Chain A
Amino acid sequence: MAILSTPRSQVDLVGKGRPLREHLFRIALLSSLAIALIFLALLLAYTLTEGWPRLDSRLWENFPSVRRPETAGVLSGITGTLWIIGLTALMALPTGVLAAIYLEEYADNTRWYNRLIELNIANLAAVPSIVYGILGLGIIARWLDFGFTVMTGAVTISLLVLPIVIISAREAIRAVPPSIREGSLALGATQWQTIYRQVLPASIPGIATGSILALSRAIGEAAPFLMLGAATLVRFNPDGVWSSFTVLPLQIYNLISQSREEFHILAAAAIVVLLAILLLMNSLAIWLRNRYQKRW
């Protein structure tokens, strides 16, 4: 019974309640997230109030102008971005998904060339976008002689988002449990039949989410286009893949570079349009993920 009468202070290892520094630490962590949130809110609020006076149909019905800010718009940027995104979706998404299927379902990881492909994709995902601009300029525009056209822009930006598509598609394919594949193979399906009829349908929501995020990266990208002649004043809509073009982010860049204040307001208004498109795509991706995410 002597043990039970030990003074309480000696038994108490942790102390009552949490010490102050635990609370402070938690608050410090939380406030760093709050800073990110506040920054985001500030950015959106500032851009919206700044661009509000010019956020009307003049913005998307008129072509850019360096002389008359009151009637200038970004129509050619919007159509150019639509062309680029459409072509990028056609080129980068199938290629990326096929490459992801190869790496997840066929590649033998003990082979050096498969490991090289993997390492290479991880590296490419982190190559600065301006370097892709150099690739577009040196190889696609000059060597392949595509010139400064929609096609050059779309191929360049497809190569830029390809690693992102591959990485996210691989994650979606990997999330399909092996038992699904084994079941299908046991019933006599070939490997491709298994992939095409079981694995792909099961991983489509994940692939779609990743694809949308990759395309929204392509929409916001400006640096490679600087190298591809899209920085000039384009006062017409592209009429095909061999037409010269500009994109919305570069229009915004051009407007910021002007010295007159009216153009900065126009830039803010164009940013609101760009962000609205991106937020829409982002929320679609998040919704898709939450709605169709399967827990196997």
Chain B
Amino acid sequence: MASANNRATAPGPNRSLARSRPRYGEAAVKVLLLAAALVSIATTLGIVAALLEPTIEFFSEVSLGEFFGSTSWGPLFSPPSFGVWPIIVATLEITLIAIIVAIPLGLAAAIYLSEYATPRVRKIFKPVLEVLAGIPTVVFGFFAFSFVTPLLQDILPFSLDPRNALSAGLLVGVMIIPIVASLSEDAMSAVPRSLREGSFALGASKMTTSVSVVLPAAFSGIVAAVILAISRAAGETMIVAIAAGFKSIFTFNPGSEMATMAAFIASAGSGDAPVGSIAYKTIFAVGSLLFIMTFAMNWFSARMVKKYREVYE
């Protein structure tokens, strides 16, 4: 008893709480884990490296003035033309149609799931959105081409090409509904209960509370969700390749066939453009443009998410 007391009260000179010897295994594990995390950095560097050199070579042969200053796009034709606007316009137009579909439907779904649904109803509808998010885009493309387009040709008063921007845009819109819905719902669920209770205490109805209190409070998160969805829509390839086609015409008519930037990359990249030819370099130049556009949107979206998280956590 006495000896035990002694040991406890008078530690020897070497009994410090710091670790007695270095643990090399622990350090090695940490290095391995860090290396795994750095793969993501390497991926970004790889993308930039893949894009940069051919893009620089492309712009040494084609001037920026021609690229951004003319409206005729046909890098694979002879003589080739490099006015990028037709594919930019097509990308923006299909993205616009998509977002007109996805914002109201996605936001309504998010408000319902976050403010109205009982846990049981959520358990039914959340998987529906998840399944929708998991459907391959090539399937959406098939559906747009062989079901939606013939249907629209029957019911719309104006004429529609077999491949057209309208049905591609509609289906891209359906594809991004789950993104808008789930990210907006996250943002609305993060709004503190006290705000809703304050609103109810003032006599506001559920609708007024949802629209005038929760929605504005979650606004930056919703904006982030929408920007991310726009970025997904702009980069979508298979739906537009199948349903909107590969013809680059400078037009705003949604009933017409039009190639987006991603569709151009897909068609030129799947063909056999010889390495080093100007057609091959064009793939990378358009790829750079698409990457910069989506990267800017993703970065802005990430900033918005961070901002709203800081407010409520």
Residues of A within 8 A of B (CB): 13-14, 18-19, 21-22, 25-26, 28-30, 32-33, 35-37, 39-40, 42-43, 46-47, 50, 94-96, 98-99, 101-103, 106-107, 116-117, 119-124, 126-135, 137-139, 142-143, 159, 162-163, 166, 190-192, 213, 216-217, 219-223, 226-227, 231, 249-250, 252-253, 256-257, 264, 267-268, 271, 274-275, 278-279, 282, 286
Complex contacts, B135 vs chain A, CB 8 Å: 40, 43, 220, 275, 278
Assembled-state Cα–Cα distance A217/B46 (Å): 22
Once A18-B205, A28-B108, A117-B40 are accepted as A-B contacts, the answer to whether A134 and B131 lie under 8 Å apart by CB is no
Please tell me if the beta carbons of A135 and B205 are within 8 angstroms of each other in the complex: no
Measured between C-beta atoms, what is the minimum distance from B120 to chain A in Å?
A: 13
Assembled-state Cα–Cα distance A217/B136 (Å): 8
Assembled-state Cα–Cα distance A237/B20 (Å): 58
14 sampled A-B residue pairs with Cβ under 8 A: A14-B205, A28-B108, A43-B139, A43-B143, A46-B147, A103-B37, A123-B44, A131-B287, A135-B47, A137-B50, A190-B26, A220-B138, A226-B237, A264-B146
Known: A30-B112, A130-B262, A222-B138. 6 other contacts (CB 8 A): A13-B203, A36-B177, A39-B132, A98-B32, A131-B291, A159-B46
Please tell me if the beta carbons of A99 and B36 are within 8 angstroms of each other in the complex: yes
Closest partner residue, chain A, to B32 (CB atom): A98
Complex contacts, B299 vs chain A, CB 8 Å: 119, 123
Complex contacts, A36 vs chain B, CB 8 Å: 105, 109, 128-129, 132, 174, 177
Once A21-B207, A222-B136 are accepted as A-B contacts, the answer to whether A162 and B40 lie under 8 Å apart by CB is yes
From the candidates B29, B36, B50, B108, name the one contacting A95 in the complex (CB within 8 A): B36
Complex contacts, A99 vs chain B, CB 8 Å: 33, 36-37, 39-40
Complex contacts, B298 vs chain A, CB 8 Å: 122-123, 126-127
Complex contacts, B311 vs chain A, CB 8 Å: none
Assembled-state Cα–Cα distance A13/B49 (Å): 65
The 10 closest A-B pairs by CB, nearest first: A128-B235, A220-B136, A138-B50, A98-B36, A102-B33, A32-B108, A223-B237, A29-B112, A227-B269, A99-B37
Assembled-state Cα–Cα distance A103/B104 (Å): 36
Complex contacts, A123 vs chain B, CB 8 Å: 44, 295, 298-299, 302
Measured between C-beta atoms, what is the minimum distance from B194 to chain A in Å?
A: 20
Please tell me if the beta carbons of B142 and A256 are within 8 angstroms of each other in the complex: yes
Measured between C-beta atoms, what is the minimum distance from B105 to chain A in Å?
A: 5
Please tell me if the beta carbons of B290 and A131 are within 8 angstroms of each other in the complex: yes
Assembled-state Cα–Cα distance A173/B36 (Å): 16
Kindly state whether residue B160 has any CB partner on chain A within 8 Å: no
From the candidates B39, B238, B283, name the one contacting A162 in the complex (CB within 8 A): B39
Assembled-state Cα–Cα distance A45/B132 (Å): 14
The digit string for B36-75, where 1 denotes a CB below 8 A from any CB of A, is 1111110110110111001000000000000000000000
Closest partner residue, chain A, to B53 (CB atom): A138
Assembled-state Cα–Cα distance A127/B43 (Å): 11
Closest partner residue, chain A, to B146 (CB atom): A264
Once A40-B128, A220-B134 are accepted as A-B contacts, the answer to whether A192 and B238 lie under 8 Å apart by CB is no
Please tell me if the beta carbons of A138 and B112 are within 8 angstroms of each other in the complex: no
Kindly state whether residue B242 has any CB partner on chain A within 8 Å: yes
